[in-house]
């Protein structure tokens, strides 16, 4: 079975600072990995995905993530935080041939002026 661990339920940064949200996964086979963002009282929106192509994946809104097999990690980064980035972020894993996603518990990103 697959699993995802997101380190830190809350992360606080200043506007303009680097954003780093951590995600570690467990999977017995090469996984697919996803990052989603959720604004209050809304659904989830896909930020980016890794599906066994390039290990550095670029997404929307300036976010990117790097798949590191040796570290079983898929951390999300953005060079410079913007106030509009304040939201909850979810990492998710699935494997080829399975139709479900397993989500982490989420990390709330707080951005201060």
Partner 1 sequence: DGGITQSPKYLFRKEGQNVTLSCEQNLNHDAMYWYRQDPGQGLRLIYYSQIVNDFQKGDIAEGYSVSREKKESFPLTVTSAQKNPTAFYLCASRAEPNEQYFGPGTRLTVT
Interface residues with partner 1 (CB under 8 A) are 9, 32, 34, 36, 41-46, 49, 51, 90, 94, 96, 98-101, 103-106
Taken in order 42, 43, 45, 46, the sign of the CA dihedral is positive
At its nearest, how many Å lie between partner 1 and the CB of residue 55? 17
97/113 with CB nearer partner 1: 97
- Alpha-carbon distance of 77 to 109, in angstroms, equals 12
At its nearest, how many Å lie between partner 1 and the CB of residue 75? 18
- Alpha-carbon distance of 85 to 61, in angstroms, equals 9
Neighbours of 27 (CB within 10 A): 17
87/104 with CB nearer partner 1: 104
36/74 with CB nearer partner 1: 36
> Read out DSSP for 36-67?
EEE-TTS-EEEEEEESSS-SEEE-GGG-EEEE
8/16 with CB nearer partner 1: 8
């Amino acid at each position: 079975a697959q699993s995802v661990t997101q380190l830190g339920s809350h992360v606080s940064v200043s506007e303009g600072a680097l954003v780093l949200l951590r995600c570690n996964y467990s999977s017995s086979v090469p996984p697919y990995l996803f990052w989603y963002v959720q604004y209050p009282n809304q659904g989830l929106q896909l930020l980016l995905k890794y599906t066994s192509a390039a290990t550095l994946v670029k997404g929307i809104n300036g976010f990117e993530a790097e798949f590191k097999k040796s570290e079983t990690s898929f951390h999300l980064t953005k060079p410079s935080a913007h106030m509009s980035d304040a939201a909850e972020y979810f990492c998710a894993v699935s494997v080829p041939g399975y139709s479900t996603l397993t989500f982490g518990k989420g990390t709330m990103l707080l951005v201060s002026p």
